[in-house]
Amino acid sequence: MRHNIFGTDGLRGKANEGFITPDAVMRLAVSATNYCRNTYVKADDHKFTVVIGKDTRLSGYMLEPALTAGFIAAGANVMLLGPIPTPGVAYMTKSLRADLGIVISASHNPYHDNGIKFFNAEGFKISVEDEIGISTAFEQPQVLTRTELMGKAWRLDDAAGRYVEFAKSSFPREMDLSGMKIVVDTANGAAYKVAPQVFWEFGADVIKIGNSPDGLNINDRCGVMDTSLLRDEVLRRKACIGIALDGDADRVVIIDETGELIDGDYLIAAIATSWQRSGRLRGDAVVATVMTNLAMERYLNSIGIGLVRTDVGDKHVVQKMLEIGTNIGGEQSGHIIPGDHSMTGDGIVSALQILAYIKANGAQASSIRKLYTPCPSVIKNIPLTSSRSLDEYRNAGEKIVGNSGRIIVRKSGTEPLVRILIEAESVCALNAAVAAICRL
């Protein structure tokens, strides 16, 4: 099998270690330029161009210039976007007709981690074939260009504004958000400026939290990783809804007006319902992962919408969406792909679709939780160093839940963990399955 240095979602790890060092990412930039230019660029006079965006991590100040130096040394031009959500980089890569888009982010991970994500010229995550091609080039001697052929770099000052207008274009023209009090938690991350601006420009009363990044507080007790502060603020301010993003704003979860969490499964179901009613849903189907609750599948089936499952990871979701021709998919974690607007997770655009659902139905956010009652479930994370095999965990759980539930066991693509989803028809069966697994 050919070697691939990439994980589930690009390269990720602790800053200043492994692949997340100045030397490594500079080499990565050279390798990516040479591979992609040789593979995709045909015109001899074409200047290979890259856009780079980042979140608010302190280590971004180290990785951005290192990547820039590598791209320039290989003969590529670089447009620096500054802090901007991951979907903003995907959009700008295609909009600016760049050859490659780079996001410097470790998404929902703590500040001490960072990562590199790649987008192709169409704004899609690069394919596994391209990952292997770049990995192969990375392990070979580096080819630098002649001095007169080196690239240049410049900052694009209006990148954030362009993304704001793009996000706004996803909201129905006949609607606004006047009269709605919204609490927005941007996780001290990439969307700390643009997210509140989008909702405010539609007329909402916006209360901002988690929007004072200092390089070290990204995802720290805020955003999708910890919604307790958002919940408290929604209740204290008597807000209509709370919107939580993660560090690079490709994920979203909601706190309703009663303080209850609404996860990605519910949000996908609500968007699919709304789009079906308006005739926008393509293929009469939704794509979700093996982690999606069984009750959501049953609800969608009851209103004539199919659910197609994939492995965990937005690339798998996107690939299946393209295969079956649908325009909505995502993950329980809140990574939602609104295919009419973006083919990568977009927390802001997805939140706008939820707000449109609420406005169109004259309902409260809590109405989304009434679409279905989830089957009891839990996710156990076990260190990968455990001596047990994946099959042992799976078999222990299946003996309890049988055919009425589900046990999904997988290795994490971003952390050294085994993730076990246990889903059962009753809390009693769920607890018994958890106990059986924990006894191993």
Q: Is residue 166 part of a domain?
A: no
For 400-409, letters b (16+ CB in 10 Å) and e give bbeeebbbbb
Residues 196-228 have pLDDT tens digits of 999 999 999 999 999 999 999 999 999 999 999
Q: Is residue 344 part of a domain?
A: yes
Give residue 135's domain range: 11-158
Residues 102-137 have pLDDT tens digits of 999 999 999 999 999 999 999 999 999 999 999 999
Indicate which CATH number applies to the domain containing 353.
Answer: 3.40.120.10
Residues 23-34 have pLDDT tens digits of 999 999 999 999
Q: Is residue 4 part of a domain?
A: no
Say how many Å lie between the first and final Cα of the chain, rounded: 32
Q: Which of 5-9, 78-82, 292-296, 342-346 has the lowest mean pLDDT?
A: 5-9
Could you tell me if 202 and 176 are in contact, meaning their C-beta atoms sit under 8 angstroms apart? yes
Comparing 111 with 411, which gets the higher pLDDT? 111
Residue 425 has pLDDT above 90, yes or no: no
How many separate domains does the chain show? Answer: 3
Q: Does 107 qualify as catalytic in the annotation?
A: yes
Q: How is residue 125 annotated by DSSP?
A: B
pLDDT of residue 386: 67
Residues 179 and 129 in one domain: no
Place 9 in a pLDDT band, splitting at 50, 70 and 90: confident
Question: How many C-beta neighbours within 10 Å does residue 171 have?
Answer: 22
Residue 1 has pLDDT above 60, yes or no: no
Comparing 261 with 390, which gets the higher pLDDT? 261
pLDDT of residue 384: 78
Residues 287 and 196 in one domain: yes
Residues 182 and 242 in one domain: yes
Q: What Rg value do the Cα atoms of the chain yield, rounded?
A: 22
Catalytic residue, candidates 31, 59, 105, 107 = 107
Residues 69 and 104 in one domain: yes
Of 113, 128, 158, the position where a domain reaches its end is 158
Indicate which CATH number applies to the domain containing 415.
Answer: 3.30.310.50
Q: What is the mean pLDDT of residues 362-376?
A: 95
